[in-house]
C-alpha cells in the first residue's frame, strides 16, 4: 500500500518538473493572468503536500522506544497531542529542516491529529496555508477543550459577506483577532493567564548570525519594558543622527542600543587564535620548516605583515594561512575588528594549532575518565559546536561524550566529542547510532535509517571521506572558545595578530571539570 504512496509522490514530483520546464520555455509568450493561475495552482499542490506531510509527521512524532518489564525495548505511542522527546530530532534529520521548524511542525501535527483535526481539510484542499493552521494552534495552545472547539468552529465558518471560511479569507492579523474574540467569550481570563505564563517562561534575549559581519539580537520582554526600551533607543538614535547626519536610521539605532546596554559594563574578550595549516597568507615567526605543528601552546605569537595589510608570506608556498572569525550562533567578525580588539582592549590571547584537513588540534591523551582542561579545550576548539548534525549550540555549552564508553574507549580527542544536553540524550537513546571517526568526522543514523555526517570546524573535504548518499555539513574554518577558569594561556597582547581562523568570546561558561562524559549526565 505504501509503495503506491511512494509511486504517487514520484508522479507528483515529475509533474512539478514538467510544469517548471513548460513555464521556463513558454512563459515569455504567456499573459500575466495565465502565469498567475499557474502560480496559484502550484501553490495549491504545495499546500496539499504540506497537509500530507503533517499527517505522516503526526504519526512519527508520537512514536518512541520504551523499555518494558522484560527489559526489552518496544515501540510505543505517546498520549494524543503529546510529542515524543526524540521525534523532532528524527524529523529534522529526515527532511533536513532546522531544529525549531522540526519542533514546531511536530507540535502542529499532533494537534491536527487531535483537537484541531477539522482544520486539516482546507489545507488538504489547498485553500489555506500551514502558517494559518500554526497560528490557530498557537492561539489555542493552553485553552480548554471547549474553547478550542469553539475557535475551530468559528474559523471554519464563512466570513461575513463571502463564501470563504475565515481561515481562508482572513490575513494573519485578522485571523489572530478572530481567535482571540472567541477565547474572550468562551474562556474568560485567558489573556491574563497567558500573559503571566509568557512573562515567566518566554521572556529571553537571543542572538543569531545576520548578514555577513552582523548579528541579529532579539529580545522577548514584558510589553511595558519593551516599549520603554524602544523609546529610549529611538530617542538616543535621533540625537545621534542630529550629531552625525551621515548615519542611517538603522545604524543610529544599533549604536544607541549598544550604548545603552554597555553603560557601566566592562568587556574583557578572550581571543583564541586557532591556526589551521593551509597554503599561503601569514608567516609565523618560529613556526619552523613545514609550517605549524605541536600542541596548543602559550608561546607569544608574532605575525609578519606588510603595511598594506598583505601577509608577508602571500604566495610563498607552504605557509600557514588563517581565515576569518565565525562565532557560533553569533556570526562572522572581520579580522580587522578582531585585531582592533586585541590591540585596544584588555584582551587575553592564546593559540591552538589545528590540522585544517582533519580539524584535529593536537594529540593529547589520559588514562583517566575525566579529560584534563587542555584536552577539553582541544575538543571544544575542534568541534566549535555540538556535533549533532544541524545543531549550532557552542561547544563550550556541551557535555563531553565518550563515543565508545570508557574504559573500553580511551579518554582522548579521537574518542571525545561535544554534545549538547539534549543531543547527549539522543545519542544514548535506543535506535540511534553514532560513530566518531579518528579524523573528527561524526556519523549519525536515526531510527528511521537516515544517515547524516557532521564535520569538525576546520575540516577540509578530502575525496572519499564522506559516504555516498550522506549529507555533509561543511565547517566554516573558525570557532569560538571561552574558558574563564583558564588564566594560564595569555599570550601576545597588542602584538598578536587576530587572524582568520581565530575566535573571540567575551562570555562565560565551559564544560565543568568532572562532568559525566560517557553516559548521559542525568
Q: What is the pLDDT of residues 182-238, one digit of tens each?
A: 999 999 899 999 999 999 999 999 998 899 989 999 999 999 999 999 999 999 999
What pLDDT shows up at residue 307? 36
Q: Are strands 303-304 and 325-327 parallel, antiparallel or unpaired?
A: unpaired
Residues 27 and 41 both lie in one domain: yes
Residues 363 and 495 both lie in one domain: yes
Residues 242 and 94 both lie in one domain: no
Q: How far apart are CA 224 and CA 229, in angstroms?
A: 9
Percent with pLDDT over 90 in the chain? 52
Note down the domain range covering 490: 269-510+517-522
Residues 142 and 220 both lie in one domain: no
Q: What is the pLDDT of residues 341-363, one digit of tens each?
A: 666 556 666 555 555 555 455 44
Residues 248 and 274 both lie in one domain: no
Residues 214 and 186 both lie in one domain: no
Rounded average pLDDT over 305-314? 38
Last residue of a domain, one of 201, 218, 246: 201
By the 8 A CB rule, do 478 and 504 touch? no
147 versus 318: which is more confidently predicted?
A: 147
What pLDDT shows up at residue 356? 52
By the 8 A CB rule, do 156 and 182 touch? no
Residues 148 and 7 both lie in one domain: yes
366, pLDDT greater than 70 = no
Residues 109 and 29 both lie in one domain: yes
Q: What is the mean pLDDT of the chain?
A: 78
Phi and psi for 436 in degrees, rounded to 5?
Answer: -110, 115
Residues 397 and 414 both lie in one domain: yes
Residues 314 and 402 both lie in one domain: yes
Phi and psi for 470 in degrees, rounded to 5?
Answer: -90, 160
By the 8 A CB rule, do 432 and 444 touch? yes
321, pLDDT greater than 60 = no
CB atoms within 10 A of CB 312: 15
What pLDDT shows up at residue 275? 55
Q: Are strands 270-276 and 348-354 parallel, antiparallel or unpaired?
A: parallel
Residues 332 and 423 both lie in one domain: yes
C-alpha cell at 254: 544599533
Residues 228 and 253 both lie in one domain: yes
CB atoms within 10 A of CB 167: 26
The most confident of 154-168, 270-284, 320-334, 470-484, by mean pLDDT: 154-168
Q: How far apart are CA 316 and CA 312, in angstroms?
A: 8
Last residue of a domain, one of 185, 201, 217: 201
C-alpha cell at 192: 491574563
By the 8 A CB rule, do 298 and 488 touch? yes
Whole-number Cα distances in Å, 75 to 105, 244, 520: 22, 65, 21
Last residue of a domain, one of 177, 201, 225: 201
Q: Please give the tally of structural domains in the chain.
A: 3
Q: How far apart are CA 498 and CA 338, in angstroms?
A: 5
Q: What is the pLDDT of residues 370-404, one digit of tens each?
A: 888 878 888 888 888 899 998 988 888 898 999 98
Percent with pLDDT over 70 in the chain? 70
Amino acid at each position: 500500500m505504501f509503495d503506491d504512496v511512494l509511486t504517487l509522490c514520484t508522479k507528483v514530483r515529475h509533474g512539478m518538473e514538467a510544469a517548471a520546464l513548460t513555464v521556463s520555455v513558454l512563459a515569455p509568450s504567456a499573459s500575466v493572468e495565465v502565469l498567475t493561475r499557474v502560480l496559484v495552482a502550484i501553490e495549491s499542490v504545495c499546500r496539499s503536500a504540506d497537509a500530507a506531510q503533517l499527517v505522516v509527521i503526526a504519526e512519527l512524532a508520537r512514536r518512541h522506544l520504551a523499555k518494558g518489564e522484560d527489559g526489552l525495548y518496544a515501540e510505543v505511542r505517546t498520549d494524543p497531542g503529546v510529542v515524543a522527546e526524540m521525534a523532532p530530532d528524527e524529523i529534522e534529520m529526515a527532511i533536513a529542516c532546522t531544529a525549531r521548524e522540526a519542533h514546531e511542525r511536530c507540535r502542529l501535527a499532533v494537534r491536527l491529529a487531535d483537537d484541531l483535526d477539522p482544520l486539516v481539510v482546507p489545507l488538504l484542499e489547498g485553500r489555506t496555508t500551514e502558517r494559518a493552521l500554526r497560528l490557530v494552534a498557537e492561539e489555542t495552545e493552553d485553552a480548554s477543550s471547549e474553547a478550542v472547539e469553539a475557535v475551530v468552529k468559528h474559523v471554519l465558518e464563512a466570513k461575513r459577506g463571502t463564501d470563504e471560511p475565515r481561515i481562508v479569507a482572513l490575513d494573519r492579523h485578522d485571523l489572530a483577532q478572530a481567535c482571540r474574540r472567541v477565547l474572550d467569550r468562551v474562556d474568560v481570563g485567558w489573556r491574563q493567564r497567558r500573559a503571566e505564563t509568557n512573562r515567566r517562561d518566554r521572556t529571553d534575549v537571543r542572538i543569531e548570525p545576520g548578514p555577513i559581519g552582523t548579528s541579529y539580537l532579539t529580545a522577548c520582554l514584558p510589553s511595558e519594558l519593551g516599549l520603554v526600551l524602544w523609546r529610549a533607543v529611538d530617542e538616543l538614535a535621533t540625537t545621534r543622527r542630529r550629531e552625525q547626519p551621515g548615519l542611517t536610521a538603522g545604524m543610529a539605532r544599533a549604536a544607541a542600543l549598544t550604548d545603552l546596554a554597555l553603560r557601566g559594563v566592562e568587556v574583557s574578550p578572550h581571543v583564541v587564535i586557532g591556526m589551521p595549516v593551509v597554503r599561503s597568507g601569514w608567516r609565523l615567526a618560529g613556526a619552523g620548516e613545514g609550517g605549524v605543528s605541536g600542541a596548543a601552546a602559550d608561546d607569544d605569537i608574532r605575525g609578519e605583515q606588510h603595511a598594506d595589510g598583505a601577509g608577508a608570506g602571500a604566495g610563498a608556498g607552504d605557509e600557514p594561512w588563517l581565515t576569518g572569525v565565525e562565532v557560533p550562533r553569533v556570526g562572522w567578525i572581520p579580522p580587522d575588528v578582531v585585531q582592533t580588539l586585541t590591540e585596544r582592549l584588555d584582551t587575553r590571547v592564546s593559540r591552538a594549532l589545528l590540522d585544517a584537513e582533519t580539524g584535529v588540534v593536537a594529540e593529547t591523551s589520559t588514562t583517566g575518565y575525566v579529560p584534563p582542561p587542555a584536552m577539553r579545550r582541544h575538543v571544544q576548539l575542534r568541534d566549535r559546536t555540538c556535533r549533532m548534525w544541524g545543531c549550532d549550540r557552542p561547544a563550550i555549552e556541551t557535555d563531553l561524550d565518550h563515543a565508545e564508553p570508557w574504559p573500553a574507549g580511551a579518554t582522548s580527542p579521537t574518542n571525545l566529542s561535544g554534545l549538547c544536553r539534549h543531543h547527549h540524550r539522543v545519542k544514548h537513546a535506543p535506535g540511534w547510532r553514532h560513530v566518531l571517526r579518528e579524523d573528527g568526522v561524526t556519523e549519525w543514523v536515526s531510527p528511521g535509517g537516515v544517515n547524516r555526517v557532521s564535520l569538525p570546524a576546520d575540516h577540509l573535504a578530502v575525496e572519499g571521506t564522506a559516504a555516498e548518499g550522506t549529507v555533509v555539513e561543511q565547517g566554516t574554518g573558525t570557532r569560538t572558545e571561552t574558558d574563564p577558569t583558564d588564566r594560564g594561556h595569555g599570550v601576545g597582547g597588542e602584538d598578536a595578530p587576530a587572524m582568520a581562523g581565530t575566535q573571540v568570546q567575551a562570555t562565560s561558561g565551559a564544560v565543568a571539570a568532572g562532568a559525566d562524559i560517557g553516559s548521559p549526565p542525568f
